[in-house]
Chains A and B, each alone.
Chain A
């Protein structure tokens, strides 16, 4: 596997289910991100992890729970979701360095989530 992978690619779940999304990066990066992409809305940053530490939570409801066990893996645990949570969930990674130097983010293919 190369780049950023996400599983599953598609997920249908009821509002009372518990499921998890998985992201894995094979690029040696040290920062990982979860984004939500809904139809006709801008990409929404949900969580940021730097060196396995969560550094950003953009007022995301507690029914979304991230986990970053190491710098290569990122999970998004889902429970009691609402229909409006249906969206494409994208994972991304980058290599953070000091100063203004910026490396681009590399994205996975996303998980298409449908909440019924």
Chain B
């Protein structure tokens, strides 16, 4: 079975500072991992995804994430926070029953609210 844990329900950074949102996963097979962002009163939007190609994945809005198998982590980073980055961020893992086919389902973490201070 697969699962994902986001460390820290709230993260606060100053504008221009580094953003680091943590995600750890559990999976007995190579995982497919996603980061989504949700702005107030909107649905979830894909930021980036890891599907076993390059371990450093670049996404939209200057975000990137690095897959580290040894640490079972997929942390999201951005070098310099903007006020517009304030939102809720979700890490998700694709599930598989047998390791050779996907179930079409995603398991989401609890979410991390990013606050950006002027």
Instruction: Please give the residue numbers on chain A whose beta carbons come within 8 Å of chain B beta carbons, in ascending order.
Output: 4, 6, 31, 33, 42-43, 45, 48, 50, 55-56, 90, 92, 94, 96, 98-102, 104-110, 112
Residue B80 is within 8 A (CB to CB) of chain A in the complex: no
For B9, the closest partner residue in chain A by CB is A40
For A104, the closest partner residue in chain B by CB is B46
A103 vs B61: C-alpha distance when bound (angstroms):
20
Q: Interface segment, B15-23, B65-73, B101-109?
A: B101-109
Q: A42-B111, A43-B90, A112-B41 are in contact. Are A105 and B106 (CB under 8 A)?
A: yes
Distance between A24 CB and nearest chain B CB, rounded to angstroms = 13
Q: Which one of B41, B102, B108 has the highest number of Cβ atoms from chain A below 10 Å of its Cβ? A: B102
Q: Which one of B46, B94, B100, B105 has the highest number of Cβ atoms from chain A below 10 Å of its Cβ? A: B105
Instruction: Please give the residue numbers on chain B whose beta carbons come within 8 Å of chain A beta carbons, in ascending order.
Output: 32, 34, 36, 41-46, 49, 51, 90, 94, 96, 99-102, 104-106, 108-111
User: Which residues of chain B have C-beta atoms less than 8 A from A96's C-beta?
Assistant: 102, 104
Q: With A43-B111, A101-B102, A106-B46 given, can you name 16 additional A-B contacts, CB distance below 8 Å?
A: A4-B43, A6-B43, A42-B109, A48-B105, A50-B104, A56-B105, A90-B44, A92-B44, A96-B104, A98-B101, A99-B102, A100-B96, A101-B51, A102-B51, A102-B94, A105-B46
Q: From A90, A102, A107, A112, give the contact of B32 (CB < 8 A).
A: A102
